[in-house]
Amino acid sequence: MKRFISFSGGVESTTMCILYGKGATAIWCDTGAEHDLMYERIDNVEKHLIDLHDGDFNLIRVKNEKHNGLEEYAMKSKYMPSGQARYCTRLFKIEPIDAFLSQQGDCELMIGFNADEEGRTGNLGLKPNVKYTYPLINDGLTRDDCEDVLKLHGLHPNFPVYMLRGGCRMCFFKSEKEYKAMYHLNKKEFDKMVLFEEGLQDKRLKFHSILSNGKSLRQLANDCETERAFLKLDDFSELYKSLKKETSCGAFCHR
Ligand code: SF4
């Protein structure tokens, strides 16, 4: 039976690739709206894991073949995804992965919930040919255990704070603080999101903000500049160190 790993690039799924990846294929789904650092990480992990498993490991990238990425889809439809209209996960994560798995015959898909998350099943499709398994839970591996495994292999993602929740750079689950951190730590990517948000607007003159409080990213940039002038810090990562990882996204959304 073919063995697949639901791979997001994060802590748990990378741990699965290390511990259970020999002879398996990791599936990574590209929404087309991933952070630049995520694309780099996927390439790095792929190289490392192929070496680790003596070539007996594969990583494949799947995407929605009908649309040219989540951001372009949102811009064209003038419709920002949200918690109530979460078409992003359905169209750009679940459906491409389910379409791929449908072609594989009887197979196993390993899901990276850890032992602290027992009882979760995730936002998965339920394909009759797929056996969904939870090896980290079965082996009693907690988040801390997974982090230890990654540190041993030099593969801890150590994502910057603005990537703690949600893989997509325009994810509506990110908080105002997370977007502020993005401004200070990766202004180039933040600026792209300003243009994306402004490109989303339609003729109804209702502002469609990424942030749930309605504030535009351009306004947020002004707040950040005030903050920068006031605080005069060299390293803004310290300021956002206390941000905690949330688990709003499901199994296919870079938790
Ligand atoms: S990371 Fe956020 S924007 Fe991207 S698919 Fe998941 S919920 Fe949607």
Distance CA(253)–CA(118), nearest Å, equals 18
The residue whose two tokens read 């039976």 is 1
CB 11 within 8 A of CB 113: no
Nearest atom within ligand 1 for CA of residue 167: 1
Structure tokens at 83: 């918690």
Give residue 202's pLDDT: 83
Give residue 7's pLDDT: 95
Determine if ligand 1 sits within 6 Å of the CB of residue 193. Answer: no
For ligand 1, atom 2, the nearest C-alpha belongs to 171
Give residue 255's pLDDT: 41
Give residue 121's pLDDT: 64
Give residue 153's pLDDT: 97
Nearest atom within ligand 1 for CA of residue 86: 8
CB 114 within 8 A of CB 83: no
Give residue 240's pLDDT: 72
Ligand 1 pocket mutation, candidates 249, 252, 254, 255, criterion most atoms within 8 A of CB = 249
What does each C-alpha distance from 106 to 4, 73, 101, 146, 150 come to in angstroms?
11, 33, 9, 28, 30
Ligand 1 pocket mutation, candidates 159, 171, 196, 247, criterion most atoms within 8 A of CB = 171
Cα(253) to ligand 1 centroid in Å equals 6
Give residue 88's pLDDT: 94
Distance CA(57)–CA(61), nearest Å, equals 14
Give residue 105's pLDDT: 97
How many CB atoms are located within 10 Å of the residue 152 CB? 10
Determine if ligand 1 sits within 6 Å of the CB of residue 210. Answer: no
Give residue 233's pLDDT: 74
CB 96 within 8 A of CB 63: yes
Determine if ligand 1 sits within 6 Å of the CB of residue 168. Answer: yes
Determine if ligand 1 sits within 6 Å of the CB of residue 196. Answer: no
Determine if ligand 1 sits within 6 Å of the CB of residue 171. Answer: yes
Determine if ligand 1 sits within 6 Å of the CB of residue 81. Answer: yes
Cα(34) to ligand 1 centroid in Å equals 9
pLDDT tens, per residue, the chain with 255 residues: 999 999 999 999 999 999 999 999 999 999 999 999 999 999 999 999 999 999 999 999 999 999 999 999 999 998 889 888 899 999 999 999 999 999 999 999 999 999 988 777 665 668 999 999 999 999 999 999 999 999 999 999 988 888 876 589 999 988 898 999 999 999 999 999 999 999 999 877 788 899 988 999 999 999 999 988 888 777 777 777 666 655 445 445 544
Determine if ligand 1 sits within 6 Å of the CB of residue 164. Answer: no
Give residue 84's pLDDT: 86
Q: Is the pTM of this model over 0.85?
A: yes
Give residue 122's pLDDT: 63
- Residue 13 three-state SS: helix
Amino acid making up residue 127: K
For ligand 1, atom 4, the nearest C-alpha belongs to 168
